[in-house]
Structure 1
């Protein structure tokens, strides 16, 4: 059996074998048995030579990834089940997301998190932001030799996904990286082509005496989707009954074939600080730092349609419809921080945000009123941060309040982490946030008459308490309880009515409990993740499935004199029926609805993954059961989920 599986990979692995160099073992971190077996090959070999002319071998722990919060990780070229979960378009675990049929389309949310507070609202178009990297998503690097990663995966139809990245240090104190993720996929249905691009350029620097540090990045991102509005009501029946003629999905009728939307964003970010005072001896370790952060970002969203469509109601013009909105934001923050052994790190900060959210036209309604085409202003905020470790407990607090400007808002984020023993880590946090709703909920202009509004909504308020426990011996658990006040949403709760922004005065409570545990027996393992959710509300506004589960039974082994690490198994996904949010291509948003439930369908994925040195190869049969467990699978009302498809790809890491 193993020789049959090997034949599948041999055509791909031969280039990998030629491209890799011999590796040396390195110091291991705490890993499972399967991960430890791979650690011998999770190293790199530098092309740099020492004074004798011999090649110098570098420990993988010297190849550092630094997050926005300044947490440090190392490059990991092992092949684990978690790597399989993250081998996708977003390159993160999609357990709480439900993808649409085509790669690069949006995702319906099976769960929500409120752990990233902000006192400033977003532009909106939240359905377009799943592949949009924010400031907090950007990583920086520090590596002894040039480091490259190449990611490739096949798309759904006539396309591919490629993510290429390289980073290097020009000196021990200066690093830069450049990367591009591009994707294009035609899709199986009519007019759902997707094309996205994410270009990034990062740099970080510190002086020899470590008194001055700098890091920054430039990002350019675009998400383009052809939109068809989903299947027609008749086509939904043809889809669900499994008529042979319509297993060719391009034959199913869609709402329209002449629309597309696009989100484009560019960001220039710089963060630097200087140590004014630095004192360090056996009794004290004090330093005073002054810092500055600059962020200029522009985003625009466009919806184009050749002819008006009855799905959106009447329009001002019959042809060449075009809606365009844009946000410009200029952010500057100054900070002063002081660190001592006794009180930890205390930081005071004040920032100024100049914003302009605007449209490219002025609209006059029939009654003579004008829909404003611009929201602009200045916001001044003050706040502070504190972090310290007391008796092994890592404490952090961050608070900010808008003190000037029309957009009121504030937040507090406090957390505590503690390591009980070598196996158990516990953490708790509280997040309190108040901010204005997204800009497109406040003001919108459109060629479609019903999609013009100016609202004076109250600030949305959220309070969230979160607990987590991480243990390889027992289980991983995450529990969060969130209260939502003045929740603002797009409503499709009234049948045959257009989507409208609404704000509920009633409080909504949301409980989420997620538990994960892996059981191992020899070379076999069963990885389980189960999530339970409960919402208390008036109406069907905030909707999530009650139960979501993912269970993976897999086998791992090392073949051919341990040159090939193999990982193969089957993954089962399921979530209970619920009123899943509908999708509006015109707004680039999801909306609450209570006319059609989605869910209740099983998904089986069979995978065969392999690792040769630092090359990981992935081969997957996605939704293998789609043709024999019933065609009732939908990602959103009128939007079918993916049929059975075979996809494969590879991840290469090079350490020059």
Structure 2
């Protein structure tokens, strides 16, 4: 601990040094709103106080999305700004462990899907890849240390090598031994993006690469909740667990040994090439500077994408009773499962821009050919798909209207008949009333592959009776920057919903049911005191196998003020609570959350945390005491026999450099 405080002091001094460097220039505030173009206007920070201006201007876009975003440097939300995990997610008791969203979010994607989503919240995907433009090289470093040797590090860097070429790199490491036996997590996430534009601005290339490596310790939960009330087990590592109980685990930051674990490896490589026909003009800026502007009218776009996933489980010292009770087989020395998939796709699209100079107004028609191969312990599969897709998008240049209509249909192949249809209309009314959005989505899809087939070295099962799932989502949303609130109302309609009935068998609910969600967030401020309210109401109608709490809420009460010249402070308490419900159980062998109606999880008091967050120019620190509720009562639960952590102390550091 002494070494940690010395290290923290050195980092703080480093942050002060960078502050002095920033003070010599102008730093563009990094908020989250859309802009007309990459550098057209300044953005306001999402925190209460703004940065001083600097010469750095940095923005980014997502692939296929015309909206430009600014980076976020606010300090009031540790979950979003540092952990990158939404506050509504519940883990199985440790940083980096399997997690589900308490605000229910189904899979709404047609086509082939392996079905392993328990660790999705940590993963990199192509849809999340950011393509940057920055006037100067930008580097961000993150470091977190917590109780039980928990550590998280992050490194991000982006720079424009020329005006036409940018690359960005991101690495994140999560390593946490946890409070209970066989709960270690050791994850590595890599991402690389790049974009290139030719001198005449007619050709563009985008590259996205990611690699996710998950090593998630599995313990099957504790054997009895009575251990939590026994003073002999105040040290939670001594509580017997269902699996991994006698395994010998070694811990180090870069080389942990986890005998009982889920192992996921995902890799994706995508390259998109565009060639435009249109109109170019040379704009005279001053006596020495000319700017060449090119407005595309018609575009040919080719996208090559290869994604592979290796999903496995291993228990090298299997506990017989647990496997007999839940999986109906005697495990022997080792239980092992492994499913490998690889999908290669080629997409050709033709895009027209009806209005010159507005890249947010386009018509896109295309086709995609997909080839998928799967390898298991006892079999292989190969199949292909042909999908047709189209989109009409009109985001007006005055930013007041945004309309989108999309469609995707699998015409040939294994997933024939899968489709997605969506429509969205957004209107910016005015600064007082904010934005209003209405949207509709309908998805018809083959159930994820894990519902149809799974095998291990001890057993295998098939379910060939599953039909296609059909899900409809209707959404009304409004957000208001002036009044500082967001409201979203979701209405889901499910047909043929697929789920797991126990640890090893899937089924389909052959009927209709619906789910209503009302999600609201608002910031209330009185002088230097702020109340951040996040609230969700959920109600299922019908007997469908979806379990949700009626209410979920997070409340942050903070004192926020700019002290002296450069110190931005946010300190207070955070409360997170949901009403009782039949929380999902978890099958370690399959890596799936299980619908259950046997044990209702009711946590009597909220999860309580105290925090002190501050920023000095480019240096930000998050200091937190979490799970204070365990000092007053027994641990809360994430699911049946999955208690949450004891009191934890965490320090997170974030700082950035401009070269």
Q: TM-score by structure 1 length?
A: 0.87
1:294-315 CA distances to partner (integer Å, 9 max, x unpaired)?
A: 1101101111122443322244
Aligned to 2:539: 534
| Whole-angstrom distance in 1 between the partners of 2:636 and 2:525 | 32
For residues 73-472 of structure 1, the aligned pairs below 5 Å read 73-79=69-75, 81=76, 83-89=77-83, 91-94=84-87, 96-113=88-105, 117-233=108-224, 236-239=225-228, 241=229, 243-257=230-244, 258=247, 259-278=260-279, 287-308=297-318, 309-313=320-324, 314-315=328-329, 318-341=332-355, 344-361=361-378, 373-389=379-395, 392-408=400-416, 409-423=418-432, 424-449=434-459, 451-471=460-480, 472=482
1:561-604 CA distances to partner (integer Å, 9 max, x unpaired)?
A: 32322110111111000000001110011010111122433111
Gap regions ≥5 residues in structure 1: 1-5, 45-57, 362-372, 493-497
Contact 1:77 1:614 in 2 (8 A): no
1:459-497 CA distances to partner (integer Å, 9 max, x unpaired)?
A: 1111001111111326321101010111001113xxxxx
Contact 2:377 2:457 in 1 (8 A): no
SS of 1:318 mapped into structure 2: coil
State the superposition RMSD in angstroms. 2.5
TM-fit CA distance, 1:78: 3.9
| Whole-angstrom distance in 2 between the partners of 1:27 and 1:176 | 20
Q: Indicate yes or no: 2:558 matched with 1:554.
A: yes
Q: 1:271 to 1:555 in 2, by over 3 A?
A: same
Aligned to 2:285: none
Q: 1:148 to 1:204 in 2, by over 3 A?
A: same
Q: 1:36 to 1:608 in 2, by over 3 A?
A: closer
SS of 2:217 mapped into structure 1: strand
| Whole-angstrom distance in 2 between the partners of 1:88 and 1:255 | 33
Aligned to 1:52: none
Q: 1:654 to 1:439 in 2, by over 3 A?
A: same
SS of 1:126 mapped into structure 2: coil
Q: 1:188 to 1:295 in 2, by over 3 A?
A: same
SS of 1:487 mapped into structure 2: strand
1:535-582 CA distances to partner (integer Å, 9 max, x unpaired)?
A: 11226x1001000111111011222x3232211011111100000000
Count of paired positions: 603
Gap regions ≥5 residues in structure 2: 30-41, 248-259, 283-293
| Whole-angstrom distance in 2 between the partners of 1:419 and 1:563 | 34
1:498-526 CA distances to partner (integer Å, 9 max, x unpaired)?
A: 53111110212011001112111111111
SS of 1:341 mapped into structure 2: coil
Contact 1:506 1:537 in 2 (8 A): no
SS of 1:458 mapped into structure 2: coil
| The one of 500, 503, 521 aligned to 2:505 | 500
TM-fit CA distance, 1:113: 3.1
| Whole-angstrom distance in 1 between the partners of 2:551 and 2:89 | 13
Q: TM-score by structure 2 length?
A: 0.87
TM-fit CA distance, 1:27: 6.7
| The one of 504, 511, 525 aligned to 1:520 | 525
TM-fit CA distance, 1:219: 1.1
| Whole-angstrom distance in 1 between the partners of 2:331 and 2:646 | 38
